[in-house]
Amino acid sequence: MKKVRFALLVALVLSSTFLYAEATGVPGLHRFVLDNGLELFVLENPSAPLAYIEIAIRGGGVAQTPETAGVFHFYEHMMFKGNSKYRTAAEVSSAYLDLGVPSWNGSTGSEYVNYYFTVPSDRLREGLEFWSYAIREPLLDPGEIESEKGVVVSEITGNYSEPRSIYAAGIDRRLFPKYPWRRDPGGTVEAIRGVTAEKLRTMQRTYYIPNNAALFVGGDVRADAVHQLVKEVYGSWERGPDPWAKPQDPQAFPAVRKTAFVVYPDPTVNPRFGIAQIYYRGPDVGRDPASTYAADVWGYLVENPSGRYKKALVGADLGIPDPNYTGAYYWTQKDGGQIVFWAYLLAKPGQGFAQRAQQLKERIRASELTNMKIDRGYFGEDEYETVKRLIENQRILELETVEGFLGTLRFWWASASTDYFFGYLDNMKKVGYREISAFLDRYIHKNLEIVAVRVHPSVYEAEKKAFADAGYETLGADNAFWWKK
């Protein structure tokens, strides 16, 4: 996942009538904190008579244990099954129609849970009240709980035979061997079958509290009016003990004790290619934010199709046909940062994918990454400047809509902090050779990797012995998921 941030030039895509908000530095954006700790962000944009409302809590996979894996996701389902005002799923659906809501949803990620919809701006109060009832006063009816278990279990078991899910679970299990359940918001069948109303209430009391939540409202609204409404609707929500007061034990670093090799027979891969990916544990934004800025800039630098990195790989007889067939990126997370290199390798007679993936790893690590660290000129000053302008320009495009801006803000509110979000561009602009070199030294040269290859099952069968002889572990549904012993 590419990182998204706020751009200094976001004013170009927002109305020129916006007021300057001193608290955030973003035109049209206002931030408030209620006495109970609930954060409120309001983005004024009167371009359409609509109001977007999103509420989020810090939680999801990162807050799980093996016994509770999936409970946050199950609770998300129960938000739509009835509350103290709309007592059944049918009444909830009717309420959406009455509010003029065209679509609504919720999601459970590895580091947050969120719920959102858009209403006509003259229904703002009703929209705020709707989510207040759903978040604060769910019925959690035992009959509905038992009925919903079948739905959620079906979602989980559906992943058992889905190639993308098998592969992702297998990598997560190996890249995060200490706490793999934190990367699995879907959870386990066993945990879901053990869900009770009391378990859900316990989770609610712990995480669904105002000082662990934020409201994001945007559109044809006035910040002061929204603030007043939110105080009236949410002001009585009682705060609780901070669930993050005690720092979490970090994921393992390095992830493995020696370089690990895995191969996955993937029916979705074209037989003419092998897909090689190399994974490193990267910086976690909560523990080493400085390295994340360098990682971002580095990620854009190596994506330059005419840059030194891609030229070296395409011209190294590795079977990479074009600069678009290889790349690298850094994925920012609070509790699961990772660095990923990837390449599509064309099949070659007499040259198996096991050997070529190892050659790719050596070419990247021993040659290119070493040169990046020691050669100040590996990336030119003009490349640094181009990348920084590119990041600014892309942020403008990504943040053109109210929903897009507030969704981005919510993501970084949960995974990092709003201060990180607002200060991102200034910190990114400070990155140069020195910062890139330090990032590579810590997270590549003093780290160990997982080399993964995906090939079509027919290719795997033809090269099965070569993979085994080279020390590759074969990945499948029986050893991909963390809960399978």
Instruction: State whether CATH 3.30.360.10 applies to domain 260-480.
Output: no
Q: Under CATH, what is the fold of the domain 34-234? A: Cytochrome Bc1 Complex; Chain A, domain 1 (3.30.830)
Q: Which residue has the higher pLDDT, 269 or 22?
A: 269
> Stretch 115-141: mean pLDDT, rounded?
97
In sequence order, what are the residues at sequence separation of 6 or more whose Cβ sits closer than 8 angstroms to the Cβ of residue 456? 265, 266, 267, 269, 270, 271
Q: Which two tokens stand for residue 348?
A: 């070659």
Residue 6: per-residue pLDDT = 35
- Residue 277's pLDDT is what? 98
Nearest one of 130, 118, 131, 125 to 219, comparing CA atoms: 118
pLDDT tens digits, residue range 385-416? 999 999 888 777 766 789 999 998 999 999 99
Task: Tell me how far apart the alpha carbons of residues 219 and 120 are, in angstroms, rounded to a whole number.
Answer: 10
Query: Among candidates 261, 262, 271, which has minimal Cα distance to 457?
Result: 271
What tens digit of pLDDT does each residue of 189-229 get?
Answer: 999 999 999 999 999 999 999 999 999 999 999 999 999 99
Tokens 């979705």 label which residue?
268
Length of the chain counted residue by residue: 485
* First vs last C-alpha separation in the chain: 29
Residue 182 pLDDT: 97
Beta-carbon contacts of residue 200 (< 8 Å; ≥ 6 apart):
71, 74, 75, 78, 138, 140, 145
Specify the pLDDT at position 5.
36
Q: How many CB atoms lie within 10 A of CB 385?
A: 11
Buried b (16+ CB within 10 A) or exposed e, 295-334: bbbbbbbbbbeebbbbeebbeeebbbeebebbbbbbebbb
Helix, strand or coil, per DSSP, at residue 66: coil
pLDDT band of residue 15 (cuts 50, 70, 90) is: very low
Residue 139 has pLDDT above 80, yes or no: yes
Average pLDDT over residues 375-381: 95
What token pair was written down for 413? Answer: 């509110």
10 versus 23: which is more confidently predicted?
23
pLDDT of residue 23: 57
State mean pLDDT over 279-283.
98
pLDDT at 14 over 50: no
What is the pLDDT at residue 253?
Answer: 96
pTM equals 0.91
Closest by CA to 128, choosing from 228, 26, 200, is 228
Q: What angle do CA 428, 26, 21 make, to 5 degrees?
A: 140
At residue 294, the pLDDT reads: 97
Q: In which band, very low, low, confident or very high, does the pLDDT at 1 lie, cut at 50, 70 and 90?
A: very low
CA dist 372 and 292 (Å) reads 17
Say if residue 20's pLDDT is above 90: no
CB 312 within 8 A of CB 368: yes
The predicted structure's pLDDT at residue 54: 98
Instruction: Tell me where in the chain the CATH 3.30.830.10 domain(s) lie.
Output: 34-234, 260-480
| pLDDT of 399 | 65
Neighbours of 6 (CB within 10 A): 24
Rounded mean pLDDT of 55-84? 96
The residue-averaged pLDDT of 316-327 equals 92
Comparing C-alpha atoms, which of 357, 73, 15 is closest to residue 189? 73
Q: Could you tell me which of 136, 111, 135, 132 has the C-alpha nearest to residue 58?
A: 111
Whether residue 441 is predicted with pLDDT greater than 80 in this model: the reply is yes
The proportion of the chain whose per-residue pLDDT surpasses 70, expressed as a percent, equals 95
Q: What is the mean pLDDT of residues 412-441?
A: 93
Model confidence band, residue 24 (pLDDT cutoffs 50, 70, 90): confident
Averaged pLDDT score across all residues of the chain: 92
Please check the confidence at residue 284 and state whether its pLDDT lies above 50.
yes
Lowest model confidence (mean pLDDT) among 49-63, 66-80, 224-238, 389-403: 389-403
Q: Is the separation of the CB atoms in 436 and 161 below 8 Å? A: no
Rounded to 5 degrees, what angle do the CA atoms 103, 108, 112 make?
Answer: 110
DSSP class of residue 481 equals S
Q: Facing residues of 452 across strands?
A: 262, 277
Within 176-256, residue ranges assigned H as helices are 189-193, 197-207, 223-234
Q: Which residues contact 103 (CB under 8 A, 6 or more apart)?
A: 117, 118
